[in-house]
Amino acid sequence: MSSSTFSRTFSLINGPQTLGNSRRFWLAFLLVLAAVLIYPVFAESYDVGNMAYLLIWVFMAMGLCLVWGYGGMLSFGQTFFFGIAGYGYGVLAINFGGEGLTTFAALLLAVGLSALAALVLGYFVIWGQVAGVFFGIVTLSATLVLAFFLGQTAGPEWHIGEARLNGFNGMKDMQPLNLPWNGEAFYFEGTSLYYLVIGLILVVYVGLRVLLNSRFGNVVVASREDPQRAELLGYDVRKYQLGTFVIGSALAGLTGALYTSWGQFITPASIGLPAAAMPIVWVAFSGRSDITATLVGSFLVLWAFQAITVYSQQIALILMGAMLLASVIIAPQGFVIGMVRAVRRVVGGRRAGVGGAAGASSGSVAEGGKP
């Protein structure tokens, strides 16, 4: 990679469409990354596996941030693509045998299947000029149809090759991700899965920052703000919206495939209405207009939700609804972004106060020096 290419890529990582472009931010980023990497050394194996489970859902949140926050398309279809990729991974892993490189092939094909589904659905919706609240209604309808269909596939006739769908009981017994190693299978579970997910999050996060600060991202944001003006400038807004929808949906599919590999099961309950509303809450609370805020805020919300669910799932769901209402009424830009802006105001005010005091002091000294 030439120096000019490197400098251009670095400038895209620190572009105007993403928060966190200072040295202080990247220093904090490296410190957090170091803590994340050494976490398994001090944590119990169960906690490491549970942390990997929580991080798996971050891909879905970042995908929705791209589609909704940057693209302006409110989608309730993240669990639709989650389900397609999750069931796709299960079907492929079972029929491929689940050994060697077949599970990773199943992962890639499952994510590709969710992207293909997004391409087809997005084409008809976007080219049909379905926008606003109706976009959300269409994607929610697709999600509910898929959940209902999978729920009634309990009979033995509902199978794809050797993989049975099993209705509400869900599909199970697929192999987790594994690779051949010294004549045996190395399974990505616990700590190894944790590091795999961390690596994927880094790739996706940096890749999205580059994408959003590129020409593509600028056009997507311009289309969200004023699609007619973007078209007058010569851009086909529909193509950029479709590309955004496909990428965001593929990230939801990545969550579905990794989730199925992690738990070795998937059920229609993980696709239906309550599940479809959850990503909306995560992203709205975090701040849908920035990918970094979504990454951090969604993980914190997921961690808190799981901690509360241990005591009462009903209370956790009620709190999720309350958080969504609070985000809409109190902090429509998102609580994480709101906190960042508040800290900036405080720091900026202190600097201004220090500068003003220094100016006043120098002025008094100058006056004192007059005859």
Task: State the CATH number of the domain containing residue 256.
Answer: 1.10.3470
213 and 241 belong to one structural domain: yes
- Helix (H) / strand (E) element for 301: namely helix 291-309
**Domain-located, residue 7:** yes
Q: Looking at this protein, which amino acid is placed at residue 147?
A: A
Pair (160, 111) in one structural domain: yes
Summarize the confidence of residues 151-172 as an average pLDDT.
Answer: 91
If asked whether residues 123 and 157 sit together in one domain, one would say yes
**Is 218 within a domain?**
yes
pLDDT digits (tens, 9 = 90+) for 53-99: 999 999 999 999 999 999 999 999 999 999 999 999 999 999 998 88
- Is pLDDT at 335 greater than 90 in this prediction? no
pLDDT per residue as tens digits for the range 337-356: 877 777 767 766 666 665 55
Q: Which pLDDT belongs to residue 260?
A: 96
CA distance 151 to 202: 35
Specify if 59 maps to a domain: yes
Return the pLDDT at 353: 62
356 within a domain of the structure (yes/no):
yes
* pLDDT in the model for residue 6: 57
What total number of domains does the chain contain? Answer: 2
Instruction: Give the CB-side neighbour count of residue 366, counting CA atoms within 13 A.
Output: 6
Containing structural domain, residue 346: 337-362
114 plus 243 within the same structural domain: yes
Query: Does one domain contain both 9 and 87?
Result: yes
Task: Give CA–CA dist 154/171, Å, rounded.
Answer: 10
For 235-293, how does the pLDDT look when each residue is reduced to its tens digit (9 = 90+)? Answer: 999 999 999 999 999 999 999 999 999 999 999 999 988 899 899 989 998 888 899 99
Q: Are residues 16 and 96 in the same domain?
A: yes
**Pairing outcome for strands 159-160 and 171-172:** unpaired
Q: Tens digit of pLDDT for each residue in 280-321? A: 989 998 888 899 999 999 999 999 888 888 777 778 778 877
**pLDDT for the residue numbered 359:** 55
91 plus 134 within the same structural domain? yes
CA 98 to chain CA mean position, Å: 27
Q: What is the DSSP letter of 18?
A: S
Residue 368 falls within a domain, yes or no?
no
- Residue 112 to residue 22: CA distance in whole angstroms: 35
Residues 229 and 354 placed together within one structural domain of the fold? no
* Number of helices and strands in the chain (H, E): 15, 6
Taking only the tens place, the pLDDT of each residue in 181-210 is 887 889 999 999 999 999 999 999 999 999
Dist. CA 177–CA 294, nearest whole Å: 27
The helix/strand/coil state of 179 is: strand
| Per-residue CA distances from 117 to 9, 77, 122, 142, 346 (Å) | 31, 11, 8, 11, 46
Instruction: Average the pLDDT over 13-27 and give the result.
Output: 86
pTM of the shown model: 0.89
**287 and 227: one domain?**
yes
Assess whether 325 and 342 both reside in one domain.
no
Claim to verify: residue 221 and residue 84 sit in the same structural domain: yes
Whether 327 shows a pLDDT value over 90: the answer reads no
What pLDDT does 369 receive? 46
80, 271 in Cβ contact below 8 A? yes
Q: Of the candidates 251, 86, 114, 85, which has an alpha carbon nearest to the alpha carbon of residue 171?
A: 86
Please say whether the beta carbons of 223 and 17 come within 8 A: no
> Does a structural domain hold residue 241?
yes
Instruction: For residues 9 and 144, state if they share a domain.
Output: yes
In a domain, 270, yes or no: yes
Within 10 angstroms of residue 226's Cβ, the number of other Cβ atoms is 12
Q: How far is CA 266 from CA 51, 64, 151, 201, 322, in A?
A: 19, 21, 12, 22, 28
